[in-house]
Amino acid sequence: MIRTVRRAMALCAALGLALTVPGVASAHPADRPGGPAKQPVATGWGGAVASVDADATAIGLDVLRRGGNAVDAAIATAAALGVTEPYSSGLGGGGYFVYYDARSRTVKTIDGRETAPAKMQQNAFLDPATGLPIPFDQGVNSGLSVGVPGTPQTWNTALRRWGTIGLRDALRPAAALADRGFVVDRTFRDQTAANQSRFDDIAPTAKLFLPGGQPPTVGSVFRNPDLARTYDRLGREGVDWLYRGGLGREVVRTAQQPPMAPGADRVFRPGLIETGDLARYGVIERKPTRVDYRGLDVYSIAPSSSGGSTVGEALDILETTDRRRMDDVTAAHYYLEASRLAFADRNRYVGDPAFVDVPLQGLLSDGFAKERACLIDPNRAAVSPVPPGDPTAPYDRRCAASGTPEASEPTEGLSTTHLVTADRWGNTVSYTLTIEQTGGSAITVPGRGFLLNNELTDFDFAPLTPGVFDPNLPAPGKRPRSSISPTIVLKDGRPFLALGSPGGATIVTTVLQVLDGRLDRGLTLPQAVAAPRLSQRNGAATEVEPGVPAALRAGLQDRGHVLKDNPEIGAVAALEFLRGGRIQAVAEPTRRGGGAAGVVRPGG
């Protein structure tokens, strides 16, 4: 939320961040001893990739160099992240894929979200003895939270529709990486250590991720030959091996009867997933959300994710103001209030559109944005939770909210991973994939080398407000609401920006703030990604990263904002298309250990 480039540079200096010169490597040797150098910013021609991991980015770039397109590179990169980021992504999860097709100049999307089993009813996460929601930890660490994975079908569908290579070729580099191993960095070790007490309750998880009973040491080589063999066989047999074959039966057996380790101190509830649920699963090619923001077309994913609708509504609200003329405190205040209002509407109206009539057109209408914007007091923060508006009512220039505010903020896991790719023809991908919690359900499929998701904990266990309709309760075959927000911004019909982030519900605010910094606050894309973040999601407090300047904190508190520290919000991967055909790839300089950006031919 810093207005000028000079302020952004001073801020980054204060945080110990380097505003990297494009095309110059910036390694993190303390974080990745012996591993590939991580370069947070790269500029050049011929295509680009950005992700959180250097090995995965290198694999995506190699696909581009060999003549593959952005979709080929995205799937190869995603498969590699399943090796090096197994606690955030992999075959056992799902995600949302947004693609710009240069030939038709259109944006396509795939909803690869996990689905609930046919046996899952609205009361699935309630204790039958008390009728109250079970403890969240018991939902996470259980087979009950395992939804039907969507990632393998997403990969296969994207390659068949828009790629130039087959699934086997896309998986081959990741299989080789899993077999030879990667160098353990501080982030991987710390994530393992944070999950040690639950990983050691599941025998195959402990065997794979806790060698000798302990997290792998920094600088050691972590190999996953089981996953290498799984990728190889999936490439040869196709995704029906999961959805209608032997691998699917193994997944079902593992979720229904979690393979507990001797002496486990948790009870993992049995899952409800059956082979028929796998056979019925299908990804959905949905029409993307679209809003016009200051002459740019901002595309993202439609429900079942709330990402596109919530980011889009907040942008529409912000467009009613001239934020480029605001001081930093006022600009931050309006950003937070727009997000607060958009989240109130998200919580009330957005769910799986197969089960809920989502008023998407109203949520993204200019009239509704004006109605919501007029509620913002320029000098005082609203007290959360604020009530939702009525996007179905005609705009009548009144300044009023409607309905009852939600009693609590929904809970979502913070772990996910994001990647962006672009090729020499201008095709562009923004793809976020996840297994939900860091480490998912903690359940590894024996002999297969991947964790199962706990995505069904994204459902509300009980209505957020008693007596008020909740669009995100469990139901058979339903997709839980997500905040994933893979975004592509077009300028004059061609790609300008592509970005996304992990972070649970903070994904929405992270994407919104980066867009705000780049489009309204005079920051370059690397500066917008590096800038300290704030997140308001219609909760009692606004979360702030440690690097938010003291003057900005004080100014917000003077306007009534309650601030709560959050050590890290999001982990962006992004692209910007520059003049002269160049592309700038941008990853995090420090968050989550720093990300990795690369281009096919560096220069400029």
| C-alpha closest to that of 162 among 113, 106, 93 | 106
d(CA 484, CA 89) in angstroms, rounded, equals 13
Here the tokens at position 504 are: 């649970």
Within 10 A of 329 (CB to CB), how many other CB atoms are there?
A: 19
- 398 CB neighbour count, 10 Å cutoff: 8
Q: Write down the catalytic residue from 20, 57, 154, 416.
A: 416
3-state secondary structure of 264: coil
The set of residues, in sequence order, having a beta carbon less than 8 Å from that of 361 and lying 6+ positions away, is none
Position 63, amino acid: V
User: First vs last Cα of the chain: how many Å apart?
Assistant: 27
Residue type for 269, please?
Answer: R
DSSP 390: -
Distance between CA 56 and CA 58 in Å, rounded? Answer: 5
Helix, strand or coil for residue 603?
A: coil
Integer angstrom CA distances of residue 82 from 174, 187, 231, 278, 450: 8, 15, 10, 20, 8
Q: Is 416 assigned a catalytic role?
A: yes
**How far is Cα of residue 310 from the mean position of the Cα atoms in its chain?**
14
Distance (Å, whole) CA 520 – CA 513: 10
Left, alpha or beta for 295 (phi > 0: left; psi -120 to 50: alpha)? left
Q: In angstroms, what CA-CA distances link 293 with 195, 331, 520, 579?
A: 41, 17, 10, 21
Count of beta carbons in the 10 Å neighbourhood of residue 379: 10
Number of helices (H) and strands (E), helices first, in the chain?
20, 18
In terms of Cα–Cα distance, which of 392, 358, 388 is closest to 472? Answer: 358
Q: Evaluate whether 71 touches 63 at the Cβ level (below 8 Å).
A: no
DSSP lists the bridge partners of residue 99 as 108, 429
What is the rounded distance in angstroms from the CA atom of residue 81 to the CA atom of residue 78? Answer: 5
Nearest partner of 344 among 468, 249, 456, judged by Cα: 468
Name the residues annotated as catalytic. 416
